[in-house]
Structure 1
Amino acid sequence: MSVPNDAARVESLRVLSQFRTDFSVCLTARHDVLFELTDALLCIEGPVHTLVGLALAPEHRRGHGALYDALNQGSLEVQHLRSTLAGLPLPRSAEGRLMLAVDVSPWLRPDANTSPDRLFCHVHGRAKNQAQMIPGWPYSFVAALEPGRTSWTAVLDAVRLGPHDDTAEVTATQIRAVLQRLIEAGQWRAGDPDVLIVCDAGYDLARLAFLLTDLPVEILGRIRSDRVLRLPAPAREPGTKGRPPRHGGELRLADPDTWPDPDVSTVTDTSRCGTAKAIAWDRLHPRLTRRAAWLDHDGDLPILEGTLIRLTVQWLPGDRKPEPIWLWSSHTDAQPSNVDQLWQAYLRRFDLEHTFRLFKQTLGWTRPKLRDPYAADRWTWLIITAHTQLRLARTLTTDLRRPWERPAPDGRLTPARVRRGFRHLQPKTTHPASAPKPAKPGPGRPPGSKNRQPAPRHDVGKLTKRELTVTAHKQHTG
């Protein structure tokens, strides 16, 4: 990104100021406190370690009691804020295509027995570096990706997964709503390339493709290396009796002997991983079974054909052993150029991990010990709003680097460095929050009195269980 001229800087400052004004309109209760709390997030020195520490920031002109009261009793029009985010300038690929990444990040609350709606969250790298299931609030995020390697993303939506939610259905509904807002904002028009939805392993790609088949989207995601896909059904021989086959032969990802000749093969030289080789097979599909999510499906189960891609690289940074990556796309008839664009777009999905790290380690997303999950939702949207302001100010702040840090190229500041200089930019923007009025603290609980209304305790985990067999499903439905 090049250094903007004076006209571009004025336009960027106008967009930032307009977004701050629109955000203030979304705050309907405890307006001033929530707005100043977001400014404190952006302007306080260093990472956020405690929520009450934000009350010490000069931008937060109210007491710490008002801070907690705003999160617990405040109100935020989320739909209005979502529409505002969709109308902001968004990054696109070199072909002008929108690339959206969807992923789940947990807010771990293992000791919050009085907090409802907690689920068991899959966590890596804790204890003995083994995966664990820890209670917390999982949030599903949707963000627009940039074409190059960067730590910036444009977060567009966040939904907390509840005990009764099905992850695939919630994700499909979330993507549908985000795309509808993008169309209403003019970000996508008829004739534009389909929006690319990039997922990591763990998502049911076939089901997502089925639930979103009426939308102009292409689902791309990683699949496990032990999966088995089916080839297209062979042509029916003349005079053959019986029902025609619906599936062809098997392609076992772990067994090269079952691989037919690839339809596409490409070789690309990269700067970080050496030579990248990609081979692809067209019109491969998973064989669905009538269990779990497909129990209620009427008629024959669908044939969801797509493109299977196997990516291998020459080496990985840090002397790590490279292993093949298997990708599946919901579109067919992929050309060599399309295959290269797909696996490169999948690698951009990991930029969202930088955003999660910024949320948790710098902005302190998971630091507050909030009991109410709806207060956690309000705090999450304040974090997203602060990150959006950093993205809009990325070309307006100066690099206040530490003596031991490397100088950043022009226009390539990281979100943490932009936040370091935001306090000098904040006085030049709009300030819709009004001045605080003198007030006295409440009496609180009388000294020596006991809490006679203890908070109820809640169990952790899913409350809705799905039958695994057709027989059990019929017995349950009668």
Structure 2
Amino acid sequence: MSLLDDPARVESLTVLSRFRTDLYDCLTARADALFELTDALLCADGAVRSLVDLTLTPEHRRGHGALYDGLNHGRIEENRLRAVLTDLPLPKTVDGRIVLVVDVSPWLRSDAPTSAERLFCHVYGRGKNQAQLIPGWPYSFVAALEPGRTSWTAVLDAVRLGPADDATAVTADQLRAVVGRLIEAGHWHDGDPDILIVMDAGYDVTRLAFVLADLTVELLGRIRSDRVLRLPKPPRQPGATGRPPKHGPEFALDKPATWPDPKHVTTTSTTRYGTAVATSWDRLHPRLTHRTCWIDHEGDLPIIEGTLIRLQVEHLPGDRDPKPVWLWSSATGATAAHVDRSWQAFLRRFDIEHTFRLFKQTMGWTAPKIRDPAAADRWTWLVIAAYTQLRLARPLAVDLRRPWEKPAAPGRLTPARVRRGFRNIRANTALPASAPKPGKPGPGRPPGSKNRRPAPHHDVGKTIKRDLTMTARQQRTG
């Protein structure tokens, strides 16, 4: 069937062509080289192992020198590209709710001492207690999740975390900007359900809930199973003297004796995890102290209440012993249906792991040995733009499966399978890049000459420290 025979496919082709044109307009320097690099990434056969191999694809009409020149000296208007990504059709749940996920994925550069702004990135090992800290560039991604089991996400933003950045503050600013663009693009209106933002245990979900309290969002995150929260303060008894308490009794997640009667207990039958039991308690909050991220908070520390959810499933894939998952939501007064919707949305958070795996293993996001972090940012945005084109081309793709692969149902192609046939789709889309001008390679470094300007070496880790230690600050304010 031709792409022009079906009105729905024509509409999808129009949206894809419009995005390609808008992407080209966001490339304000070395636009042709960067755009053809993106096309080569989309049309290359197999996984991308190195950048120079992309110059051998027919879609890349320039030499390898133009490729590296585009990454090192090109320019991408990132804010404009963010707005273009937000204007695209956005996946929503059945009730019309937008579900966002925020997560960090590292670009490991342990062998690059001349690369600046590297941090120690937490990497999980294959065995128990085999986690490591490896130097690299951590990137914070925000994506919209689709309902149901899928390997697709709609990536909306990416920010590289620098040595002087507070990860929670950067995440809060990133989420605030994304939500603002969603509202400006018309994806959310007054009266719509609150935007749900899910995150894993690496984030301080309670602090993010306090910082983003002025937005119409609900934050849901996993917390450690050894946390201790506080119940609401009890009502003051008549005739009681002394200072009224600010916190109620302790709720230790690993001590069932401290658990009061739950507000809701729901049981759900799932095809993947068996029977799932969700138990929830209302208005639980952590007890904050003037330490770490709250050391600069003026006045009394806030009480950040939310809903605590304990999820216990019957079994996990691979017959592993299931342990309970503890979730904390910034919403209070949640109903049983709200609790079920929350933990089911959290399970969809793992869809972004498929996106990270595609970025690294198939599209070669972390394959280039780039020295400049600004060039790494450009390459990251090109990978996001290429992945977005795959998402827009999903209704247009044909299943070019291998003989040993199972047939995929219509509309259920994975991103890797859509990429196999993108070369055929590309011929019917907009091709704004101009043809290269004839030229010849430069002379290069003369034979026998030495590099008399070695690249500087940079330290790894945080470089910005507080002016006062915690002890000195307490002595000054005491």
TM-score range, shorter chain: over 0.9
For residue 5 of structure 1, report the CA deviation from its aligned partner: 8.3
Q: What's the RMSD between the two structures over aligned residues?
A: 1.7
Change (3 A) 1:118 1:236: same
| Deviations, residues 189-208 of structure 1 (Å, cap 9, x unaligned) | 11111111100011111110
SS at match of 1:321: coil
Q: Is the 8 A contact 2:252 2:259 kept in 1?
A: yes
| Deviations, residues 108-149 of structure 1 (Å, cap 9, x unaligned) | 000100000000000012588710000000000000001111
C-alpha distance in 1, partners of 2:162/2:339?
Answer: 36
Change (3 A) 1:23 1:475: farther
| Deviations, residues 167-221 of structure 1 (Å, cap 9, x unaligned) | 0000000000111111110011111111111000111111100110101111100
1:147-296 matches, cutoff 5 A: 147-296=147-296
For residue 470 of structure 1, report the CA deviation from its aligned partner: 4.6
Name 2:34's counterpart in structure 1: 34
Name 1:108's counterpart in structure 2: 108
Structure 1 segments (4+ residues) deviating >3 Å: 126-129, 465-471, 474-478
Change (3 A) 1:435 1:301: same
Change (3 A) 1:81 1:280: same
For residue 86 of structure 1, report the CA deviation from its aligned partner: 0.6
Q: Which amino acid aligns with 1:45?
A: D
- Asked if 1:371 corresponds to 2:371, the answer is yes
Q: Which amino acid aligns with 1:233?
A: K
C-alpha distance in 2, partners of 1:475/1:46?
Answer: 61
1:70-469 matches, cutoff 5 A: 70-125=70-125, 130-466=130-466
Q: Is the 8 A contact 1:119 1:135 kept in 2?
A: yes
Q: Is the 8 A contact 2:227 2:252 kept in 1?
A: yes
For residue 242 of structure 1, report the CA deviation from its aligned partner: 2.3
Name 2:17's counterpart in structure 1: 17
C-alpha distance in 2, partners of 1:364/1:45?
Answer: 12
Change (3 A) 1:146 1:70: same
C-alpha distance in 1, partners of 2:238/2:467?
Answer: 42
C-alpha distance in 2, partners of 1:141/1:393?
Answer: 22
Name 2:63's counterpart in structure 1: 63
Q: Is the 8 A contact 1:160 1:377 kept in 2?
A: yes
Change (3 A) 1:258 1:87: same
Q: Is the 8 A contact 1:290 1:470 kept in 2?
A: no
Q: Which amino acid aligns with 1:37?
A: L
For residue 369 of structure 1, report the CA deviation from its aligned partner: 0.2
C-alpha distance in 1, partners of 2:280/2:219?
Answer: 16
SS at match of 2:125: strand
C-alpha distance in 2, partners of 1:4/1:439?
Answer: 39
Q: Is the 8 A contact 1:292 1:468 kept in 2?
A: no
Change (3 A) 1:326 1:129: closer
C-alpha distance in 1, partners of 2:354/2:45?
Answer: 20
| Deviations, residues 328-387 of structure 1 (Å, cap 9, x unaligned) | 000100101000000000000000000000000000000000000000000000000000
C-alpha distance in 1, partners of 2:472/2:315?
Answer: 49
Change (3 A) 1:124 1:476: farther
Change (3 A) 1:467 1:247: farther
For residue 441 of structure 1, report the CA deviation from its aligned partner: 1.1
Change (3 A) 1:451 1:203: same
C-alpha distance in 2, partners of 1:345/1:237?
Answer: 41
Q: Is the 8 A contact 1:231 1:285 kept in 2?
A: yes
Change (3 A) 1:467 1:407: farther
C-alpha distance in 2, partners of 1:98/1:129?
Answer: 36
Change (3 A) 1:465 1:27: same
Q: Is the 8 A contact 1:292 1:467 kept in 2?
A: no
C-alpha distance in 2, partners of 1:477/1:244?
Answer: 25
Q: Is the 8 A contact 1:308 1:327 kept in 2?
A: yes
Q: Which amino acid aligns with 1:101?
A: V
For residue 239 of structure 1, report the CA deviation from its aligned partner: 2.4
Q: Is the 8 A contact 2:4 2:10 kept in 1?
A: no
Change (3 A) 1:5 1:102: farther
For residue 226 of structure 1, report the CA deviation from its aligned partner: 0.2
Change (3 A) 1:162 1:233: same
Q: Which amino acid aligns with 1:280?
A: S
Q: Is the 8 A contact 1:292 1:466 kept in 2?
A: no
The answer for unaligned runs of 5 or more in structure 1 is: none
Q: Which amino acid aligns with 1:63?
A: G
Q: Which amino acid aligns with 1:398?
A: V
Q: Which amino acid aligns with 2:341?
A: Q
Q: Is the 8 A contact 1:123 1:131 kept in 2?
A: yes
C-alpha distance in 1, partners of 2:128/2:441?
Answer: 47
SS at match of 1:382: helix
C-alpha distance in 1, partners of 2:408/2:467?
Answer: 55
Q: Is the 8 A contact 1:282 1:308 kept in 2?
A: yes
For residue 442 of structure 1, report the CA deviation from its aligned partner: 1.2
Q: Which amino acid aligns with 1:90?
A: L
Q: Share of identical aligned residues, percent?
A: 71
| Deviations, residues 392-412 of structure 1 (Å, cap 9, x unaligned) | 001101000000000001110
SS at match of 1:262: coil
The answer for unaligned runs of 5 or more in structure 2 is: none
For residue 317 of structure 1, report the CA deviation from its aligned partner: 1.3
Alignment size in residue pairs: 476
TM-score for the superposition, normalised by structure 2: 0.97
| Deviations, residues 424-444 of structure 1 (Å, cap 9, x unaligned) | 100000000000100111111
SS at match of 2:257: helix
SS at match of 2:15: helix
C-alpha distance in 2, partners of 1:73/1:383?
Answer: 17
C-alpha distance in 1, partners of 2:472/2:459?
Answer: 26
